[in-house]
Amino acid sequence: MQSPRWWLVLLAGAAIAAAPVSSLAAKGHKAHATKAAATKIYTVTLQDMKFGPTPPKIHVGDTIEWVNNDIFLHSATAKDKSFDVELKPKAHLWTTFHRAGTYPFTCRYHPGMTGTLVVVG
């Protein structure tokens, strides 16, 4: 039997499939790819007041799992506002990218925390 939270994640993902990116939240378990086997999930860890390394590039349809291993509230917020995820301490959130582009991002709460994701078609 699937949990109601998993259904909420599936419905949210379907509702925003046309958007450049979508953010999906779940607590306490790993995301599972629901698209073709070619899509991948990459992890970016927030720790010690910084974003960990991002992959050199990802592909349209790939997902970033944001993991906050810090003791502070953080966000991963695209400068163009195409995604904005708020990460409580120990939270895991997922963002799936539906359009190619370069996405510089920062933490709303700690502007010195920055990174860039490159999404290719």
Domain limits, the chain:
4-28+38-120
Reported as a pLDDT band with limits 50, 70 and 90, residue 21 is low
Structural contact between residues 78 and 23, judged by C-beta atoms closer than 8 angstroms: no
| Of residues 83 and 31, more confidently modeled | 83
β-sheet bridge partners, residue 103: 117
| Of residues 22 and 67, more confidently modeled | 67
Q: What is the pLDDT of residue 34?
A: 47
Q: 4-28+38-120 falls under which CATH superfamily?
A: Cupredoxins -  blue copper proteins (2.60.40.420)
Kindly report the three-state secondary structure assignment for every residue of 63-120: EEEEEECCCCCEEEEECCCCCEEEECCCCEEEEEECCCEEEEEECCCCCCCEEEEEEE
Residue 43 has pLDDT above 80, yes or no: yes
Residue 8 has pLDDT above 50, yes or no: no
